[in-house]
Structure 1
Amino acid sequence: MTEYRSIDSLDGTAIGYTHRGAGPGLVIVPGNNRMAHNYDRLAGELADRFAVSVIDRRGRGASGPQGPDYRLEREIEDLRAVQRAEDAHLVFGHSYGGLVALQSARADRSLDRLVVYEPAVSLNGSFDLSFLPEFERLLAAGRRTRAMALFLHRTHLTPLPGSTPRVVFLALAALLVGGRSGAEMRDLMPTTPPELTEVARYDSDGATYAEVMARTLLLGGTKAPAYLLGVLEPLSRVIPRARVELLDGADHNAPDESAPRAVAEHLAAFFAG
């Protein structure tokens, strides 16, 4: 049975999260444009072995807004508040949630094991965010379909090659954000620029990730964009107790959409030690 719980973060912001299962505490940190319910299947695959909490990050669900002074540090405080509330020493972060998890782990000596799936880590400018100003202008003008088309085109998070005509990305974006089914996506889009700004702000040579002391599994899918897969091996060489595993045929949305069972199998094996 799934419960919806809430805890106040360090700055007083309410952070909602789903909770199910029994066993060692595991917190899941969702990616950009994702909410806790998007990970229901993944949590369901793990709930027979772990007490699984999935955060609705700021700007989502019953959680408070990002706010005008949003920083990734607030997300770290939110994650730790849920960890303390649930006595959780296992963490899984997906995409932007992976960046949050890695940055939190740098100073969290209570963390036992950490898994990140294609974290939104930029090493020496590897994450190209040159499209961000245009994306923000389109959002400000209320042109969310065009903004989503730009995002899909420049992040390479679809199977379409970069040479695909813009009109194809526009059609795909219209499907994602149009109508009632796209209402949630439209609501989440304004949370993207502040998060991408933090990805850029945390760009580095990767040396600080040597502070991550938890045993760490760096996961990726063989169908993911090169800039996401390309940071895994460098991170594994910096993080003292880290290794890389790739899921054959998996894409960036394997944890929440295309292959939650396969991801859960890797998580369960690693967290079980």
Structure 2
Amino acid sequence: MSEIEYDETTSSDGTPIAYFRRGSGPALVVTHGSIATKEQWIPASEHLAEHVTLYVYDRRGRGGTGDAAEYSLAHEVADIAAMREVAGPGAHLLGHSFGALATLAYAREHGLGGGTLLAYEPPLAVQGPVAGERLQGYRDLVDAGDLDAALEYALVNFVRVPAEAIPFIRETPLWGASVPLTPTWVRELAEIDALGSDLSGYAEIDAPTHLIAGTATTAFLYQSAHDLVDVIPNAGITDIEGADHFAHLADPEGFTRVVIGALDRASVAR
């Protein structure tokens, strides 16, 4: 099993970015989702590192990565640019959830220069605003410091997890790791809704693109991935049977097969 090497780089605005590198082969930069850190990807990295050189970084405002007074999706794009500079020319991109939105934005602006874009369930507002007026209730809980209640509120109202499933999620390691990160979700939810439901701009993406969705995931996440396939030229999609929004944690080996299969098909198609 390959070792994890921790390192740091700097984004264009001077923000330090912490990341780990693992494996050998073609470079794959992983951009994680909301209320997460790079550590969430360690289980999947054990399998992915057998095929690629992984560069998994903490998005700004969490883990070992710094932050800035102002925030926008443009900062996320700049951070991906910094990581691709570390990974080298032609590095592939894999984004999960909000991280998938960031990689899509990067691909629209910069292209991938021979790399492939993999987007796992980007949360687009294809069924109306993801947060909408409910964002204020979430912001109020975060401002009051009740981060545990904020996470429950967000999972039910934004991710649309059934309320009866919350007690079971509370028993998983995911809950304890996510609670401290809930403040960072406020700004990301606002960014998601600001993007709106018009997906036509994603037709500008000319890099090989593959969407990933779980058949047991939230309806708007599944639709987001499938709607993008119809917009991005020559995009493909893989549905993971029975999977939800966290297939990389629930079945890291199976998720790895999907990722490597998509990269292999893109390589043959070039």
TM-score with structure 1 length normalisation? 0.89
Contiguous gaps of at least 5 residues in structure 2:
none
Equivalent-residue separation in structure 2 for 1:33 and 1:124 (angstroms): 22
- Give 1:48's aligned amino acid: E
Say yes or no: does 1:189 pair with 2:175: no
Q: State the shift of 1:136 in Å.
A: 0.4
Among 137, 141, 144, the alignment partner of 2:140 is 137
Secondary structure at the aligned position of 1:78 is classed as helix
**What residue is the counterpart of 1:108 in the other structure?**
110
Equivalent-residue separation in structure 1 for 2:134 and 2:171 (angstroms): 22
Secondary structure at the aligned position of 1:149 is classed as helix
**What residue is the counterpart of 2:206 in the other structure?**
213
- Give 1:10's aligned amino acid: S
Contact 1:176/1:185 (8 A) holds in 2:
no
Q: State the shift of 1:27 in Å.
A: 0.3
- Give 1:144's aligned amino acid: L
Equivalent-residue separation in structure 1 for 2:128 and 2:64 (angstroms): 34
Equivalent-residue separation in structure 1 for 2:135 and 2:124 (angstroms): 16
Contact 1:76/1:101 (8 A) holds in 2:
yes
Q: State the shift of 1:129 in Å.
A: 3.4
Contact 1:26/1:53 (8 A) holds in 2:
yes
How many aligned residue pairs are there?
Answer: 261
**What residue is the counterpart of 1:264 in the other structure?**
256
Q: For 1:230-241, list aligned pairs within 5 A.
A: 230-241=223-234
Q: For 1:165-184, list aligned pairs within 5 A.
A: 169=166, 171=167, 182=176, 184=177
Contiguous gaps of at least 5 residues in structure 1:
none
Q: State the shift of 1:111 in Å.
A: 4.9
- Give 1:20's aligned amino acid: R
Q: Which moved more, 1:121-130 or 1:75-84?
A: 121-130
Report % sequence identity. 30
**What residue is the counterpart of 1:121 in the other structure?**
124
- Give 1:35's aligned amino acid: T
Equivalent-residue separation in structure 1 for 2:154 and 2:169 (angstroms): 9
Contact 1:144/1:177 (8 A) holds in 2:
no
Equivalent-residue separation in structure 1 for 2:173 and 2:262 (angstroms): 36
Equivalent-residue separation in structure 2 for 1:264 and 1:131 (angstroms): 35
- Per-residue CA deviations over 1:107-159 (Å, capped at 9, x if unaligned) read 2232521111101222373534332100000111112222122112113454x
Equivalent-residue separation in structure 2 for 1:43 and 1:189 (angstroms): 24
- Give 1:70's aligned amino acid: Y
Q: State the shift of 1:237 in Å.
A: 1.2
User: What RMSD over aligned residues (CA atoms) do the two structures have, in Å?
Assistant: 2.1
- Per-residue CA deviations over 1:39-96 (Å, capped at 9, x if unaligned) read 012112111221100111011221102x331111101100110101111520100001
Say yes or no: does 1:27 pair with 2:29: yes
- Structure 1 consecutive aligned stretches of length 4 or more whose deviation exceeds 6 Å: none
Say yes or no: does 1:148 pair with 2:151: yes
